[in-house]
Amino acid sequence: MSKSKISKLSRLGLIKVITKRLGAIHKGSKETTKDLYAYHPNALARELHPSVQHLIVKEIKPFSNDMKSFILAPDPELGTERLAWFSAGNYLSIAAEIQGKVFKRPYSIASSPADTLEGFYMITVKRVDGGIVSQYILDNWQVGQKVTASAPLGDFTYERLRDASTVIGIAGGSGITPFRSLAKAIYEGDESCSLVLLYGSRTLADAAFSDEISEMAAKCDKIKLVNVLSNEEKEGCESGFITADLIKKYAPAGDYSIFMCGPQAMYNFADKEIEKLGIRRKFVRHELFGEYFHPERNADYGGNIEDTFTLTVTIAGVTTKIPCNANTTLLRAMEDAGLNPPSDCRSGRCGWCHSQLLSGDVYVPASVDGRRMADKIYGYIHPCCTFPLSDLAIDVPPMPKEH
């Protein structure tokens, strides 16, 4: 197909073509969809990667009013008998219906993979200033709450072939959760790497899971925890911020990987420090989930943050016009308008919100621009990390059933 034909092919058009071709294949082979689904590999794939998991809150463990852990078990009443397996570092995309609108947010799984066999995941939610979903969960979820979640997703996981055998973890705030999972997986013998965790908090009292990880570290020489406190001095802890010198102090001789998870401000600081270390790019990994705020702080931003534009959205053939502020991602504007767009990672990584830009100008911050070259050539964007610079028209894939 020529470039011009491809660029004119809408997502809906593509779905129609695929449906037509599948129909022809089934007719020709006399196979029914049901038969194909019954194949063992397909059944196994569905169990490992279910499109949706129905969960129920079994227990709530509060750290404070602003941070709580939720123990989530399968909800057989709604058809989830067992939890999908995962690797330490994966996240769940949780859907919350708030005032008739569906919002989805990614939360790292803080429990270990072995806990899944015991029948539970744990996620930890911290209140975010201006955050709709964290606020709603912390103030409303009770034991017995039904929860709709995705399968475990994401690539913030240890890979022996890619990563060095020692991981230096840099955590801030609720960014501790994937490291709590990794530390427990190492402790339980399910991960082969060593973990040196540099955990930045204002005070030791703010450092959730610190006691628990310290206990594991005391019994397992593959885990080391260093609390780095910015607002107090405490014996046995480092003071200040996570600098290149501090990383060097605790890094092993030879190669090591750096995994970072925390707020955007932490990345802005830590990225510059890590640059000074001159380590290979493949050894530096970020967990980027979460909303991108303040595009105007980037030197290459060419818009006016005060502007409001008209966003013309087509989802499954239905077109709607909605307002979108210059400082709001297209995804957030669609959610605020109750359009229920697809999303999982919210950081340009999973591709789930991949949409066609039909007209208008956009700004995509380089650090969350996960588009391939073909996406840029043929005009595709990820609305989760795209900001408007003019009135826009986009074609969005419909939310798949059961997602």
Residue selected from 292, 352, 380, 387 as contacting ligand FES according to rule CB under 6 A: 352
Residue selected from 344, 380, 387, 397 as contacting ligand FES according to rule CB under 6 A: 344
Tokens encoding 176:
């501790």
For the chain, the first-to-last Cα distance in angstroms comes to 31
> How far apart (Å, rounded) are the C-alpha atoms in residues 251 and 28?
60
Contact status: 348 vs ligand FES (CB under 6 A): yes
Q: Which stretch binds ligand FES (CB under 6 A): 33-41, 197-205, 298-306, 350-358?
A: 350-358
Q: Which is nearer to ligand FES, 195 or 324 (CB)?
A: 324
Looking at this protein, which amino acid is placed at residue 121?
A: Y
Identify the three-state secondary structure at position 116. helix
Contact status: 343 vs ligand FES (CB under 6 A): yes
Q: Are 261 and 267 in contact (CB under 8 A)?
A: no
Strand partners, 170: 198, 260
Residue 351: CB minimum distance to ligand FES, A: 5
Contact status: 382 vs ligand FES (CB under 6 A): yes
Contact status: 395 vs ligand FES (CB under 6 A): no
Q: Which is nearer to ligand FES, 326 or 334 (CB)?
A: 334
Quickly list DSSP for 225-236. Answer: EEEEESS---TT
Residue 390: CB minimum distance to ligand FES, A: 21
DSSP, res 47: H
Tokens encoding 392:
């826009």
Q: Which is nearer to ligand FES, 167 or 368 (CB)?
A: 368
Residue 103: CB minimum distance to ligand FES, A: 12
Q: Which is nearer to ligand FES, 263 or 351 (CB)?
A: 351
Identify the three-state secondary structure at position 376. helix
Tokens encoding 174:
């609720």
Residue 381: CB minimum distance to ligand FES, A: 9
> How far apart (Å, rounded) are the C-alpha atoms in residues 265 and 268?
5
Contact status: 209 vs ligand FES (CB under 6 A): no
Residue 10, CA distances (Å) to 20, 82, 223, 395 in order: 15, 37, 50, 7
> How far apart (Å, rounded) are the C-alpha atoms in residues 267 and 169?
13
Contact status: 285 vs ligand FES (CB under 6 A): no
Residue 289: CB minimum distance to ligand FES, A: 9
Contact status: 349 vs ligand FES (CB under 6 A): yes
Q: Which stretch binds ligand FES (CB under 6 A): 76-84, 138-146, 181-189, 344-352?
A: 344-352
Taking residue 197's Cβ as centre, other Cβ atoms within 10 Å add up to: 26
Residue 212, CA distances (Å) to 201, 208, 209, 225 in order: 16, 9, 5, 10
Residue 329: CB minimum distance to ligand FES, A: 9
Contact status: 105 vs ligand FES (CB under 6 A): no
Q: Which is nearer to ligand FES, 217 or 384 (CB)?
A: 384
Q: How many residues bind ligand FES (CB under 6 A)?
A: 12
Residue 391: CB minimum distance to ligand FES, A: 22
Q: Is the C-alpha dihedral spanning 371, 369, 295, 328 positive or negative?
A: positive
Q: Which of 88, 52, 275, 243 is nearest to 167 (CA)?
A: 88
Taking residue 361's Cβ as centre, other Cβ atoms within 10 Å add up to: 13
In the sheet with 91-98, reading across from the earlier edge strand, the strands are 101-108, 91-98, 146-149, 53-64, 67-74, 121-126
Contact status: 345 vs ligand FES (CB under 6 A): yes
Q: Which stretch binds ligand FES (CB under 6 A): 127-135, 186-194, 293-301, 337-345?
A: 337-345
Contact status: 332 vs ligand FES (CB under 6 A): no
Residue 343: CB minimum distance to ligand FES, A: 4
Q: Which is nearer to ligand FES, 71 or 288 (CB)?
A: 288
Q: Which is nearer to ligand FES, 208 or 364 (CB)?
A: 364
* Residue numbers at the binding site for ligand FES (CB under 6 A): 343-346, 348-353, 382, 384
